[in-house]
Amino acid sequence: MEILLQITIILVCLFYGARKGGVALGLLGGIGIVILTFFFKLAPGKPPVDVMLTIIAVVAASATLQASGGLEVLLLGAEKVLRRNPKYVSILAPFVTCTLTMLCGTGHVVYTMLPIIYDISIKNNIRPERPMAASSIASQMGILASPVSVAVVSLVAFLAKAPVGGQVIDFIMLLSITIPSTLAGVLMIGIFSWFRGKDLDQDAEFQRRIADPEQRRIVYGDSATLMGKQLSKDQWTAMWIFIGAIVVVAFLGAFQNLRPLINGKPLNMVLTIQMFMLLAGALIIVFTKTDPSTIGKTEVFRAGMVAVVAVFGIAWMADTVFEANLPALKAALTDLVKTQPWTYAIALLLVSKLVNSQAAAISAMVPVGLAIGVPAGYIVAFAAASYGYYILPTYPSDLAAIQFDRSGTTRIGKYVINHSFILPGLIGVSTSCLIGYLLASARALI
């Protein structure tokens, strides 16, 4: 009975913190840890320091890229791809936003692309809901396929402590499963989106809207574009430094003999990522005219620091409860997760919706899953289930897509749950989990 009360405290803190949003999610963990320690007399768990330090390093590099203007180089390249192939925007746009997330480690890059995607679709008489909703979903799915995302580096750190058959699931092995499974999910989203909804000329509601000349002007409006913008040498330099750091990290992960031996073992990949992300940020400052004072003001930096606080509070609180009750939890849940491991994926999906963060969901659930006996292979296979915050249309990228779609086709439904993002999200995540399971099985991880 006491453990149920303790878990209830965790859930209340998660739910209330998620409703408040931002840093509140992590700070509410402070309430939980104090109650658990001082009232239930539980020994405080261990905050995931390695994970937090890696997040800081990655966010610092990505924020420096944004402050330098190097991010605009990637965005302009993405726009060129879409404008050259406007008829295929419903399939290409989700791949573009997913790829940008994979390169930058954050889905927040989608905000700049959304008005461009809308402009391309409406000017080519394509229902904007098709690429807009798909692009928002795909931008978040790309997080699990990014070598520099908070969620991936967190997962690598946790899996390092849980070898499978004496083999550690390292950075490269993880990405060899999450990248193709993510891209498969994005492809299915694009195929679905190509056919979804009525064509604009057959949509009576849309036709009524544009019958009003003022509304027609708003719907078709001015073009949003980065085309024609002059990019400086510094912007290109910053972009190539950042991309180069990612490539080096990938090579060091793939070929461990390239890493120096520390106490007879190759340098830990978590530390390697930290080093080269800090190096990337430093080189951008040294070789460009980036003002360091602007780095902390970027959207990437603010969102990243919120993630650090969230991981700190949530993971510490959850670890306290589950470490104290590990024997009882193992006895109660081991048989279930061994016979029905998909239940872990459902739990991960629901926690993700509560915390609105893949990194926070992974930090809360992966250590628990490993502790109660969920095989590490299943945790990798079902990693995509850490994206569940599309279930309700409350995430910023989804709300932004609704706002940028002046045609009104991307929307929240009458019953809230029947919104534009629910089907692409379900299709994308379930496909990724299925492909992830098949790939993990092929690698003998399951």
Residue 416: its pLDDT value, please?
67
Minimum mean pLDDT range among 69-73, 247-251, 268-272: 268-272
Instruction: Check residues 161 and 77 and name the one with the higher pLDDT.
Output: 77
Instruction: Check residues 253 and 259 and name the one with the higher pLDDT.
Output: 259
Asked whether residue 298 carries a pLDDT value surpassing 90, the answer given is no
Q: Kindly report the average pLDDT of the chain as a whole number.
A: 85
Amino acid at the residue 55? I
Can you name the residues that pair with 164 across neighbouring β-strands? 167
What digits encode the pLDDT tens for the residues 117-140? 888 898 889 999 999 999 999 999
Instruction: Check residues 51 and 130 and name the one with the higher pLDDT.
Output: 130
**What integer is the mean pLDDT of 357-370?**
84
CA 376 → CA 36, 373, 381, 406, 446, distances in Å? 28, 9, 9, 45, 8
> What's this model's pTM, rounded to 2 decimal places?
0.75
**What integer is the mean pLDDT of 298-303?**
77
Distance CA 244, CA 246 (A): 5
Distance CA 6, CA 385 (A): 25
Residue 431: its pLDDT value, please?
97
Asked if 35 and 9 touch (Cβ cutoff 8 Å), the reply is: yes
Distance CA 420, CA 388 (A): 15
Residue 133: its pLDDT value, please?
94
Structural element, H or E, at residue 327? helix 326-339
CA atoms within 13 A on the CB side of 344: 32
Instruction: Check residues 255 and 178 and name the one with the higher pLDDT.
Output: 178
Minimum mean pLDDT range among 87-101, 135-149, 210-224, 329-343: 329-343
Instruction: Place 167 in a pLDDT band, splitting at 50, 70 and 90.
Output: confident
Distance CA 146, CA 100 (A): 9
Instruction: Check residues 429 and 333 and name the one with the higher pLDDT.
Output: 429
Residue 180: its pLDDT value, please?
97
Minimum mean pLDDT range among 12-21, 175-184, 292-301, 307-316: 12-21
Determine the angle formed by the axes of helices 233-254 and 70-84, rounding to 10 degrees.
Answer: 90
For 416, the 3-state DSSP assignment is strand
Asked if 339 and 333 touch (Cβ cutoff 8 Å), the reply is: no
Instruction: Place 192 in a pLDDT band, splitting at 50, 70 and 90.
Output: very high
Residue 437: its pLDDT value, please?
95
Specify which of 190-204, 247-261, 394-408 reaches the highest per-range mean pLDDT: 190-204
Instruction: Check residues 88 and 357 and name the one with the higher pLDDT.
Output: 88
Residue 237: its pLDDT value, please?
95
Instruction: Pull the structure tokens for residue 47.
Output: 């905050």
For 267, the 3-state DSSP assignment is coil
3-state secondary structure 162-218: CCECCECCCHHHHHHHHHHHHHHHHHHHHHHHHHCCCCHHHCHHHHHHHHCHHHHHH
Residue 12: its pLDDT value, please?
83
Q: For the purposes of burial, counting CB atoms within 10 Å of the CB of 335, is it exposed (0-12), middle (13-18) or buried (19 or more)? A: exposed
Instruction: Place 109 in a pLDDT band, splitting at 50, 70 and 90.
Output: confident
Can you name the residues that pair with 262 across neighbouring β-strands? 265
Asked whether residue 337 carries a pLDDT value surpassing 90, the answer given is no
Instruction: Place 78 in a pLDDT band, splitting at 50, 70 and 90.
Output: confident
**What integer is the mean pLDDT of 335-359?**
79
Residue 331: its pLDDT value, please?
65
The string of DSSP codes covering 356-414 is T-HHHHHHHHHHHHHHTT--HHHHHHTGGGG--TTSSTTSHHHHHHHHH-TTS-S--BT
Q: How many CB atoms lie within 10 A of CB 371?
A: 17
Distance CA 72, CA 239 (A): 9
How does strand 265-266 pair with strand 261-262? antiparallel
Minimum mean pLDDT range among 13-22, 33-42, 81-90: 13-22
